[in-house]
Amino acid sequence: MRYFDKTFFRFTLGFLVIVAISLMIMYAASAYASGVEKIIFTTDPQSIKPDTLSGPITVQSQDAGGNPIQTPETLDIQFISTSPTGEFLGSTGNPATTYMSKNTANKTFYYKDSKEGTFIITVNIRGRDTGIELDTSQQIIVSSEASGNTDINNTGEVLGVSTNSSSGSGSGTTEKVSSLSAQLEILAGVDRTTSPGSPIWFQATIKKNTTGVSPELNWSFGDGNVGVGSLVSHTYKYAGDLVVVLSARAGDIFSVSRLKVKVSSSDITVSDMGEYLEILNKGNTEINLFNWKIENQGKGFVFQPNTIVLAKSSFKLDKSLLKMKGFDNSLGTCLKNATGEMVFAVAPVETINPTEISKNIQNIKNEALIIQSKIENKVVASVASFDKPQKETTAVSDPSSDMPQENVIYEVPKKTGVASRFFNFFVDLFR
């Protein structure tokens, strides 16, 4: 009995020690994991050629102050691209692993895409133990004109750090400074092109922040409209060249970055090919048809996000997608952009009804027969009047018939005086 009690006691004590140690480890892991406040891209956005592997793209787990922190747990990763053909790969070209190992702070992968355009790539993470969920997004450009895998951002502009002190300039122009000489540095992105009514996305990149405060991000789109946040969207209504300004504030520290946007008028047509509509972009700028409206023969459709028509390209829209009621041009074909402006329209063609045409022709024939009958009746009456014997009338001799066929000599009336004419006037007046 004694042996049993001693063994039981040791077993119970050992079990409690193991439970205590496990709880301490779990508590420490949980406390450590709570320090992971965000995940961000530490590499700049890139511009790559189609079907070409990008340069390394790295995301990092950080604390609230923007410092890297190792994860005390394995993080499951979900990669998302706004391009349906985007691929997330490893350095060897195989699919990237979808997790971040325990006790690491960085995850590096590569991107490849066969489709040209400007896309947003997003990394979502979820902790296997704590269940924390974080995400971050970045822009990537796929273009045949890209000169290899290059960063698409320039150094940002930081206010109040370095100024041009050239004498006689009359103004203090803020210079672009490196991340080593500033507490806060942000980037607005590369210069962009779009068309009126085509949504365009802007993403802020925080290159450096040693202030310990999350910056407030404000956008000015150059046309009087503004936005707030790290990822914003805007739709320009008119063509033109504009400047987009991104302003950041962290406490008393300010940073500004800007880019240029060229808004070119769209040149797009829609052709009715029977079973489908062919939408052709004749311009030199790709068009995002998100929230554009198209209608044909009384039915309409609203395009979903990221419906891109590449420059000098077209796509076919199956008419089975046209399910909603038409808007304005219910019989013809029309296309409106996101601002409601009519981009393309074909006047409705009235349907020809053969039965109605036959009826109209018959009415015309009936009217012609009536007119013909009236004309024939008038002709008969005229002929009858001509054949009817004329009444005898007293012949009136023509004075000229008794005249000799010689020169006629006549007497010129004599002139009358004024008194005679005055008298004759009163005589005629009282006759």
Tell me the per-residue pLDDT of 36-66, one tens digit each, with 9 for 90 and over.
Answer: 888 999 888 899 999 898 988 999 998 877 7
Q: What dotted CATH number matches 179-263?
A: 2.60.40.10
What is the reported pLDDT for 426?
A: 54
pLDDT at 350 over 80: no
Angle in degrees, CA 354, 355, 361, rounded to 5: 85
Q: Read off the pLDDT of each residue in 243-254 and give the average, rounded to a whole number.
A: 88
- Burial (CB count within 10 angstroms: exposed 0-12, middle 13-18, buried 19+), residue 261: buried
Angle in degrees, CA 123, 126, 131, rounded to 5: 160
d(CA 266, CA 261): 15
What is the reported pLDDT for 287?
A: 86
State the sign of the Cα–Cα–Cα–Cα dihedral 154, 159, 161, 165.
positive
pLDDT in tens, 353-397: 667 667 777 778 777 788 777 776 765 665 555 555 555 444 444
Higher-confidence residue: 268 or 30?
Answer: 268
Fold agreement (179-263, 268-346): yes
What is the reported pLDDT for 429?
A: 55
pLDDT in tens, 301-347: 888 877 888 888 998 999 888 887 666 666 788 888 888 888 888 87
CB 35 within 8 A of CB 63: yes
Q: How many CA atoms lie within 13 A of 341 on its CB side?
A: 16
pLDDT at 418 over 80: no
CB 61 within 8 A of CB 39: yes
The domain spans of the chain are 38-151, 179-263, 268-346
Q: Please, which pLDDT band fits residue 401 given cuts at 50, 70 and 90?
A: very low
What is the reported pLDDT for 68?
A: 85
pLDDT at 114 over 80: yes
d(CA 12, CA 368): 119
What is the reported pLDDT for 79?
A: 94
pLDDT in tens, 277-298: 999 999 888 888 888 888 888 8
pLDDT in tens, 135-189: 999 999 998 887 655 544 443 333 333 333 333 333 333 333 333 335 888 888 8
Mean pLDDT score across all residues of the chain: 76
Structural class in CATH, domain 38-151: mainly beta
Superfamily of domain 268-346: Lamin Tail domain (2.60.40.1260)
What is the reported pLDDT for 111?
A: 94
Q: Return the H-helix or E-strand segment holding 382.
A: helix 354-387
Share of the chain above pLDDT 90, in %: 20
What is the reported pLDDT for 168?
A: 34
Tokens in use for 234?
């805007």
What is the reported pLDDT for 183?
A: 80
